[in-house]
Amino acid sequence: MICNGRHIPYDQDLKELSQQLRNNATPQEKKLWYQFLKFQKLHFYRQKPLDGYIVDFYCPKLKLVIEIDGVQHLEEGSVEYDNERTLVLANYGLQVIRFTNYQIDFEFDSVCTKITRFLQYPL
């Protein structure tokens, strides 16, 4: 896979884990997938390995990564890890947008509106 003129490495070692994550999706991942992303015209992958990371959702045509952050992303060191991960993905020309579990649970229409705007007018 080539993005922004650079090849995004696919880590074969993450394939099994990504399949497990797809099969054991969080309620918020299921909600976003089954109530919104699955029905978009553009194709999204779920739990896609990209350069040593597994991203929640990935649309290659738009170079878009969507992440859903649970409470574990608030733990010590997680913010730094997420920032580093975002920078690595950005170096491939990928745009990363993040939503919290709370937003998926209680502000779902707003989340869908933000994603729709991005799908219509990518950065």
Overall average pLDDT of the 12-25 stretch: 94
List, for residues 34-59, the tens digit of each pLDDT value: 999 999 999 999 999 999 999 999 99
The values of phi and psi at residue 98, to 5°, are -120, 145
How many other CB atoms are found less than 10 A from the CB of residue 68? 20
Region 5-30: mean pLDDT is 91
Residues in the chain: 123
Q: How many other β-carbons are positioned within 10 Å of the β-carbon of residue 116?
A: 12
pLDDT given at position 31? 98
The CATH number for 49's domain is 3.40.960.10
| pLDDT band at residue 2 under the 50/70/90 scheme | low
- Across 4-13, 20-29, 39-48, 87-96, least confident range: 4-13
- Calpha distance 40→8 (Å, rounded): 24
Question: Which residue range(s) make up the domain with 22?
Answer: 2-120
- Domain total of the chain: 1
Give the predicted TM-score (pTM) of the model: 0.90
pLDDT band at 9 (very low <50, low <70, confident <90, very high): confident
pLDDT at 73 over 70: no
pLDDT of 23 higher than 60: yes
Q: 25-57 b/e with 16+ CB inside 10 Å = b? A: beebbebbbeebbeeeeeebbbbbbbbebbbbb
Which among 3, 49, 31, 16 has a CA at the least distance from the CA of 104?
31
